[in-house]
Amino acid sequence: MHVPDGFIDAPTSAAAGAVAATAVAVSLRGARRELDERTAPLAGLVAAFIFAVQMLNFPVAAGTSGHLLGGALAAILVGPFTGVLCVSVVLLMQGILFADGGLTALGVNITDMAIVTTVVAYALFRFLVKVLPRRRRSVTVASFVAALVSVPAAAVAFTCVYAVGGTTDVSIGKVATAMVGVHVLIGVGEAAITALTVGAVIAVRPDLVYGARGLQQRLKLRVNGVLVDAPAPGGARTAPVAARTSRRALWIIGLTTSLVLAGFVSFYASSSPDGLEKVAHDKGIDRKTERHATEDSPLAGYGVQDVADARLSGGLAGVIGVGATVVAGSTVFWVVRRRRVDDASPVSTGV
């Protein structure tokens, strides 16, 4: 659903950019509360995983494909504020390095794909978790439904933006019907990927899933009149070491999976246009598409320039993209985490 340059006029793009900048600023502050020693290392990995899976277009209808948006997945795994930042980092990397999504439309894409999907998905997810039985399976079910709804919600958001600032004279009713119709189907794929990923992480480390916190209360012991957490099985000394090892192993597995998906599996992704591209072509929205500012980039189009072999070119581009995203994302979240630590540190004053 990456909106290219030229679909939306300059004033509307600027307004969307202001909305996106404000939301990112708010998310940077909100992420300080969400990121801790457990979620901070995972957040950069989540961004890289979303980048990798977005390369895997899957067929949804005749001549149309879809791909993960990732807002629901990021929000549930690392929190809604951090989720907005994760998807924003992915969109920034795609726009600058791969000429995917217009640079003047970056605000539109962040508003649509990062903010709307994350807000809608996490709000619905929290509601479902409250009304469903307090079990891990409920988190997976809630993840599926929230992700499913978030995709057509993003389609509606694009339609609203287009209604305000579209550069072609196309019936808004036709655009809305086409966009929502195809993105409901894409939402099924989004829901399946999100539920499977959340379920897999919950199976090995439920404490790392932000949306699953509080489902199981740790046993409390009263020591000298104060309630404290009971030590984990195996002794309190070994528990932190085991936890660190598990987080490290999970991070390595996640990064390896992302590299394999982007570097190898992406070659077999559907080559059909995605939902927005298909609707834009069928309805004539793409008549005003402008040349991308970085279309001469060595990685434009998810291929490495001057590498003749298509499989090798696409694979290298995917690996570079995952690497760049995990570095950029981890840097952002490390800085945010450091700000939280610095803000929480006591300030000493001389007398």
For residue 222, what pLDDT is reported? 56
58: left (phi over 0), alpha (psi -120 to 50) or beta: beta
| CA neighbours closer than 13 Å in the CB half-sphere of residue 194 | 36
Q: What does the pLDDT look like over 99-155, one tens digit per residue? A: 999 999 999 999 999 999 999 999 999 999 999 998 889 999 999 999 999 999 999
Apex 204 CA angle, 240 and 86, nearest 5: 90
Q: How far is CA 349 from CA 255, 342, 345, 346, in A?
A: 44, 16, 13, 10
pLDDT at position 205 is 87
Q: What are phi and psi for residue 290, nearest 5 degrees?
A: -105, 160
Distance (Å, whole) CA 276 – CA 113: 12
pLDDT at 135 (0 to 100): 86
What domains sit in the chain, N to C, each tagged with a CATH number?
A: 10-344 (1.10.1760.20)
Q: What pLDDT does 204 receive? A: 87
Q: Could you say which residues of the chain have pLDDT below 70?
A: 216-245, 340-351
Distance of CA 164 to the CA centre of its chain: 26
Residue 299: predicted pLDDT: 95
6 token code pair: 């030229």
Rounded distance, CA 27 to CA 81, Å? 5
Tokens of 147: 């992700």
Pairing mode, strands 64-66 and 220-223: unpaired
Torsions phi, psi for 228 (to 5 deg) = -130, 160
- pTM comes to 0.89
